[in-house]
Structure 1
Amino acid sequence: MLAPALFSPLRRRGLALPNRIVMAPMTRSRAAQPGDIPTALMAEYYAQRASAGLIISEASQISCQGQGYSHTPGIYSAAQINGWRKVTEAVHAAGGRMVLQLWHVGRMSHPVFHDGALPVAPSALAPDAQVWVVGSDGIGRMVDCPTPRALETAEIADIVEDYRRAAGNAMAAGFDGVEIHAANGYLIDQFLRSTSNNRTDAYGGSIDKRVRFLEEVALVVAHEVGAARTGVRLAPYITARGMACPDIIDTILEAARRLDALDIGYLHLSEADWDDAPQVPEDFRHTLRRHFDGAILVAGGYDAERAQAIVQADLADAVAFGRPFIANPDLAARIAHDHPLADFDPTTLFGGDARGYSDYPPRHGSPQLTAKADA
């Protein structure tokens, strides 16, 4: 077997997985309209990939206010809960495990999603970014994000409550846990960084204050679903979208320390995956281990060789693969048996139907791994 470290069971705090290959969250924009409701097609897509040790769902907005891209699923309405329940039932029937990623995009949005109102953010600072919007002609286009409206202090508690409610909805939909999206320039990440947060109240200024919003969200979510069933995604070395904060590493480490105190199940590091991207220093990984005793997942352009190496070195407990899972629903088996990977069609990534989504076949005759865990 190739990469044997990836196929050892994982038991650490909140995770009990049969292998260390995780399906990373990927926006595919195929929720039914109106209502941003998960569909039977999505259930088929995720169930095909149930041999992953864990599936992390595509990011799902916790409220109407939290949306920033067209046709992304939500987790705040009864119809959305019912739609997601079909997904989790299909994944569980195939022997898999799945958590829902909770999402509020903050300033990474557009007035089209908010009846013409501006998106909200910690501060009225525009991101250097675009979001994908489907126009009245049915065609999706990337459009610039405007300068957002700064949240009033009293509004922040309402968003924390939205996270709590969404986490409860996820459990009602049958998920095995939730992951709080606090990375990649979205709302919680915007609070963490001085480049996007210039507040002067209890949520801005010092590291202690900038971490407060994440801590409050994690506290209510962990109380709602259980700390062991809660994960948090962070992006310490990603600086796109105007997020190049000079003290972000110290901020992330303080966040990790506080999340460890809450017994959060895992941290999921989103790492840069473009050519010539900054590498995560090994000393940061060791320091993170000292600050956080739960499981650590990593994602960002890993192949089987790099994934094997980082797990074997105990610098991560599991590796999340994104793009390789698109055209390779049997990715774990292909890695195990060193079979070639299929390429995906980039024109079908966002929106559409089964083409380029659930129509990628497993390798003919490829030995299949069981998705069921003894762990």
Structure 2
Amino acid sequence: MPSLFDPMQIGDLILANRIVMAPLTRSRSRGLKPGAMAVEYYRQRAAAGLIITEGTQINPEGQGYLDTPGIHSSEQIAAWREVTDAVHAAGGKIAVQLWHVGRISHQVFQPEGRAPVSSTSRPANGKTFTAEGLVPVSAPRALATEEIPGVVAAFVHAARCAMEAGFDAVEVHGANGYLIDQFLRDSINDRTDQYGGSIENRARLLVEVMTAIAAAIGPGRTGLRLSPVTPVNDAGQDSQAQALFNHVAEQLAPLKLAFLDVVEGQTGGPRDIAPFDYQAMRQRFGGTWIANNGYSREMALQAVAAGEADAIAFGRDFISNPDLVRRLRLNAPLQPLDRATLYGGDAKGYIDYPALAA
């Protein structure tokens, strides 16, 4: 039986183990690009089989929070190249998470102070971090049908920028109530064009994005994150969540993507927030399945050994344990997380967590 610590191939990549660092927003990218601290942060965690970076916006409209990085300009490409070079020098593999927040944004982040864009014009009941602190998100504008090819093109441009920056792969953020999820769920999507209404229509944007990126950079370097039932960012449950995400998996299967990264339950919360058969979805996808959300060492070992997942993504544990892979291998104690330093700030709570003594 496979072990959590065994090497594996996902798409075009050979990973040293089946432990994945989940994407984690840290809001330390001043100037919307990673700096020297980010280089060290990711280098410290390069023992992961695969690092998936913090959410990284595909264009200026994709930003929703203070000091989050992008991957759409030459300056951002150069800054991320410092990160990827450091991770590769330490023997690691790294993917960038391509992010468009949609309506989970504020006009202060938008070009010319415009309204954020979404599948809908209905505002989310949520807040975001700006230079002024925590504020309600702005009311969005529903994308016109003729604008949607431009969104797909922006995802493709960002994916190409990621390859230029030296990333091994990309992960499209289709989860957690952000733009793609805003199209998927009928609790948010109230459109009447070919991107709204039926399950097939609501899944159309996601399928177009994944098809276009796979064609541009290769399916073996293209992954996706989904969260079928999480309620975060005012993402109400879809009326037919199982049918919706089974359909998505079936549509993605022919693309032969590198992986599907699935949040089980509520992101960062209860795993049993709503009923959902993840294995039924996995069977329809047929490719590498990375499971995420609240996995302990014991749960991760069991899931991989039983064939319920090919790899496990750990989030918060990687923040406070840069040497998480070694600690899991040795069954060593994990350091607790300092929640006060999660977002923004300096090196404290970012690159100063100690590794185990030799």
Q: Normalising by structure 2, what TM-score?
A: 0.96
CA distance in 2, matches of 1:195, 1:219: 25
Among 130, 134, 146, the residue aligned to 1:133: 130
Deviation at 1:152, TM superposition (A): 0.6
Q: 2:280 is matched with which residue: 287, 294, 311? A: 287
- Offset from partner CA, 1:27-79 (integer Å, 9 cap, x none): 0011122xx01112101100100000100010100000000001000001110
Gap runs ≥5 in structure 1: 136-140, 366-375
Return the alpha-carbon distance in structure 2 between the equivalents of residues 20 and 358 of structure 1: 23
Q: Distance in 2 between matches of 1:6 and 1:279?
A: 26
CA contact under 8 A between 1:128 and 1:145: conserved in structure 2?
yes
Counterpart in the other structure of 2:74: 78
Shift of 1:11: 2.5
Partner of 2:4: 6
Distance 1:10 1:61 in 2: 29
CA contact (8 A) 2:271 2:293 kept: no
The size of the alignment, in residue pairs, is 355
Q: Check whether the contact 2:50–2:94 (CA below 8 A) recurs between aligned residues.
A: yes
Deviation at 1:162, TM superposition (A): 0.3
Aligned equivalent of 1:185, options 177, 200, 206: 177
| Residue in structure 1 matched with residue 117 of structure 2 by the alignment | 120
* Matching of residues 42-191 of structure 1 within 5 Å: 42-114=38-110, 115-135=112-132, 141-191=133-183
In the alignment, is the contact (CA less than 8 A) between 1:326 and 1:344 conserved in 2?
Answer: yes
Letter in 1 for 2:26: R
- Asked whether the equivalents of residues 192 and 248 of structure 1 are also in contact (C-alpha less than 8 Å), the reply is no
**Partners in 2 of 1:252 and 1:42 — Cα distance?**
34
| Segment of structure 1 superposing worse, 9-18 or 349-358 | 9-18
Q: Distance between the aligned counterparts of 1:4 and 1:254, measured in 2?
A: 29
Please say if residues 265 and 294 of structure 1, whose CA atoms lie closer than 8 Å, have aligned partners that are also in contact: yes
Q: Residue type matched to 2:329 in 1?
A: A
Deviation, 1:195, is 1.0
CA deviation string 1:230-253 (max 9, x = no partner): 001000121231321111221111
**Residue pair 1:22, 1:52 contacting (<8 A) in 2 also:** yes
Q: State the SS of the aligned residue for 2:3.
A: helix
Q: In the alignment, is the contact (CA less than 8 A) between 1:15 and 1:266 conserved in 2? A: no
Q: Residue type matched to 1:128 in 2?
A: N
Percent of counterpart pairs with the same letter? 46
Q: Give the superposition deviation at 1:277.
A: 4.4
Q: Tell me, which stretches of 5 or more residues in structure 2 are unaligned?
A: none
Of 243-252 and 211-220, deviating more is 243-252
- Say which SS state the counterpart of residue 247 (structure 2) adopts: helix
Specify the SS of the correspondent of 1:101.
strand
1:27 to 20, 25, 28: 25
1:359 aligned to which of 333, 352, 355 = 352
Deviation at 1:116, TM superposition (A): 2.2
| Superposed counterparts of 1:328-367, under 5 Å | 328-365=321-358
For 1:99 and 1:275, the matched residues in 2 are separated by: 24
The Cα RMSD (Å) is 1.6
Over residues 7-44 of structure 1, what are the superposed CA-to-partner deviations in whole Å (9 max), with x where a residue is unaligned?
112224445212111100000011122xx011121011
Contact 2:230/2:273, CA 8 A, preserved across alignment: no
The one-letter amino acid paired with 1:262 is L
**Superimposed CA distance per residue, residues 324-352 of structure 1 (whole angstroms, 9 cap, x where no aligned partner):** 01111000000110111111211111111
Kept in 2: contact 1:14–1:295 (CA 8 A)? no
Residues 197 and 186 of structure 1, relative CA distance in 2, 3 Å threshold: same
> What amino acid sits opposite 1:98 in the alignment?
I
Alignment of 1:194 onto 2:191: no
CA distance in 2, matches of 1:242, 1:24: 20
Instruction: Give the aligned partner of residue 308 of structure 1.
Output: 301
- The verdict on how the C-alpha distance between 1:30 and 1:76 changes in structure 2, with shifts beyond 3 A counting, is same
Aligned to 1:368: none
Specify the alignment match of 2:272 in structure 1: 278
Name the CA distance, whole Å, in 2 between partners of 1:76 and 1:307. 35
- The one-letter code matched in structure 2 to 1:121 is S
- Where 1:307 maps in the other structure, the secondary structure is helix
